[in-house]
């Protein structure tokens, strides 16, 4: 039966063809033209337009072979594969007025919005409060920074004199990105502003750009650019090595400072105040190795991160503005579960939104990536409620101000890059799901 309960599929006797019928009244709707062994097992995948088939027992004729024939048994002929109904020429009666198939790609297609076309190879990173998304168009002769919104589609943004441009972050103030001439800020009012530095993801808040410059002596220095006033200011005026890790949506800047062989982390607020981030343990600091991996700064002042602490190992931690800390352990790899965290995308409804790899049910190797909620109760993989077999997920970059998760992946059975948005509010409304605990 199809995921939406409207159709059934079966192998027709004698003809051995795969048939699709109406589930409410078993009326034969159409013949797919695909001939399959009569004893295969059919499974209608959650993707909605794909039926998987597999032989789970010996060939029908071998099961009824004589005792003499069984003395020299033939090797079992396993049969397995998939039939994509969308790739079959379907009768016009089964198509919608716009020409698309009646077999949905997802029981709730409104949860995920595909952006652009596979040929554009969009690698999108961020979304602002107006719904515009920025990233890079990689399907043309050169990489180009782009805007996307529902009304106008994809609009490219080329920096004069640059061999390439790449969008990194976007807000109501404008867009930031990298190019062959270095990092830049752009808005319709200011045009291109040279930042003379390097940008990370989540580099732009409501009005502030956070970036890292390299001084003449080779030491890096954290900087901020006020897009409203058009002014620059250093965030660390000492001779220490410093770098900007991210800017939150309320314009707070998370900065890492190297104090000798030790890393310290500071939050610089819009009002000029600064506080040091309290860690739940001491980072592993060895020559050629640093226990810090990544951090995320939320608008409520909490810092989340993944790091290697002495005596504790790799942990996901939380540190609030009052210095209280918490270690997330339930459901994460290394504590008897099946989820290996890769990156942190943001926060939603009190949960961390992360990307990780899910181990198979037998505890074997890890499968493809999936977004997930990480809470103090455990991990809820999105694949428990949404089907991700249409594409191979590469990453989910951020939770936007609109509550949408910006994702990038590969189209199924292809290397075409595709970008899509997952509406977290609609995802939360779906039934089911499971929490992985240790």
Q: pLDDT tens digit string along 303-337?
A: 999 888 888 888 899 999 999 999 998 887 654 45
Residue 186 has pLDDT above 80, yes or no: yes
- Asked if 129 and 137 count as a contact pair (C-beta separation under 8 A), the reply is no
Residues 412-420 have a mean pLDDT of 77
pLDDT of residue 289: 66
d(CA 408, CA 391): 9
List 21's β-bridge partners, or say none. 8, 28
The answer to which of 202-206, 211-215, 301-305, 395-399 has the lowest mean pLDDT is 395-399
Mean pLDDT (the chain) is 81
**Residue with token string 């190795």:** 289
Query: How far is residue 36 CA from its own chain's centroid?
Result: 36
d(CA 17, CA 228): 66
Residues 211-217 have a mean pLDDT of 93
Phi-psi region of 111 (alpha: psi -120 to 50; beta: other; left: phi over 0): alpha
Phi, psi (degrees; rounded to nearest 5) at 120: -80, -20
Residues 167-174 have a mean pLDDT of 94
pLDDT of residue 302: 95
Can you tell me whether residue 68 is helix, strand or coil?
helix
Residues 420-427 have a mean pLDDT of 90
Helix (H) or strand (E) holding 340: strand 339-348
Residues 178-185 have a mean pLDDT of 92
Residue 223 has pLDDT above 90, yes or no: yes
Residue 413 has pLDDT above 70, yes or no: no
- What confidence tier does 107 reach under pLDDT thresholds 50, 70, 90? very low
Residue 230 has pLDDT above 90, yes or no: yes
Strands 144-149 and 133-137, bridge-based pairing: antiparallel
Domains and CATH numbers, the chain: 7-94 (no CATH), 112-428 (2.130.10.150)
- Asked if 413 and 395 count as a contact pair (C-beta separation under 8 A), the reply is no
Residue 20 has pLDDT above 80, yes or no: yes
Q: What percent of the chain has pLDDT over 90?
A: 35
Helices (H), 191-349: none
* Contacts for 433 with CB less than 8 Å, ≥ 6 apart: 380, 384, 385
Helix (H) or strand (E) holding 211: strand 208-214
Exposed (0-12), middle (13-18) or buried (19+): which is 237, by Cβ within 10 Å?
A: exposed
- Asked if 153 and 124 count as a contact pair (C-beta separation under 8 A), the reply is no
Query: How far is residue 57 CA from its own chain's centroid?
Result: 38
Q: Tokens standing for 321? A: 């503005």
* Contacts for 88 with CB less than 8 Å, ≥ 6 apart: 32, 33, 34
pLDDT of residue 88: 55
46 vs 35, higher pLDDT: 35
Q: What percent of the chain has pLDDT over 70?
A: 78
Phi, psi (degrees; rounded to nearest 5) at 309: -100, 145
């Amino acid at each position: 039966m199809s995921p939406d309960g409207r159709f059934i599929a079966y192998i027709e006797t004698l003809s051995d063809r795969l048939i699709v019928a109406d589930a409410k009244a078993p009326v034969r709707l159409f013949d797919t033209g695909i001939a399959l062994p009569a004893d295969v097992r059919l499974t209608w995948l959650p993707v909605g337009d794909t039926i998987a088939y597999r032989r789970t027992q010996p060939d029908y004729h071998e099961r009824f072979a004589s005792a003499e024939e069984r003395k020299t048994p033939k090797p079992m002929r396993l049969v397995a594969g998939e039939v994509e109904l969308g790739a079959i020429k379907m009768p016009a009666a089964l198509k919608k007025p716009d020409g698309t198939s009646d077999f949905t790609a997802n029981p709730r297609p409104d949860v995920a919005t595909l952006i652009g076309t596979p040929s554009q190879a969009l690698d999108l990173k961020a979304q602002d409060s107006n719904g515009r998304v920025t990233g890079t168009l990689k399907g043309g002769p050169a990489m180009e920074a782009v805007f996307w919104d529902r009304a106008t589609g994809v609009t490219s943004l080329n920096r004069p004199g640059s061999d390439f441009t790449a969008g990194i972050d976007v807000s109501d103030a404008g867009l930031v990105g990298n190019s062959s001439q270095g990092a830049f800020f752009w808005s319709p009012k200011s045009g291109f502003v040279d930042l003379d530095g390097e940008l990370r993801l989540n580099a732009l808040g409501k009005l502030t750009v956070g970036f890292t410059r390299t001084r003449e002596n080779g030491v890096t220095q954290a900087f901020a650019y006020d897009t409203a006033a058009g002014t620059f200011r250093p965030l660390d005026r000492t001779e220490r090595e410093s770098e900007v890790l991210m800017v939150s949506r309320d314009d707070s800047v998370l900065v890492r400072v190297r104090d000798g062989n030790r890393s310290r982390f500071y939050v610089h607020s819009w009002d000029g105040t600064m506080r040091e981030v309290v860690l739940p343990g001491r980072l592993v600091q060895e020559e050629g190795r640093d226990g810090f991996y990544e951090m995320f700064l939320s608008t409520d002042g909490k810092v989340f991160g993944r790091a290697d602490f002495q005596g504790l190992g790799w942990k996901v931690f939380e540190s609030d503005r009052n210095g209280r800390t918490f270690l997330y352990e339930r459901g994460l790899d290394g504590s008897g579960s099946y989820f290996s965290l890769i990156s942190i995308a943001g926060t939603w409804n009190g949960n961390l939104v992360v990307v990780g790899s899910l181990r198979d049910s037998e505890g074997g190797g890890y499968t493809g990536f999936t977004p997930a909620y990480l809470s103090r109760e455990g991990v809820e993989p999105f694949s428990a409620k949404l089907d991700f077999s249409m594409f191979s997920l590469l990453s989910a970059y951020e939770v936007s101000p609109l509550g949408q998760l910006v994702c990038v992946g590969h189209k199924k059975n292809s290397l075409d890059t595709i970008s899509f948005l997952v509406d977290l509010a609609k995802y939360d409304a779906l039934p089911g799901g499971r929490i992985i605990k240790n």
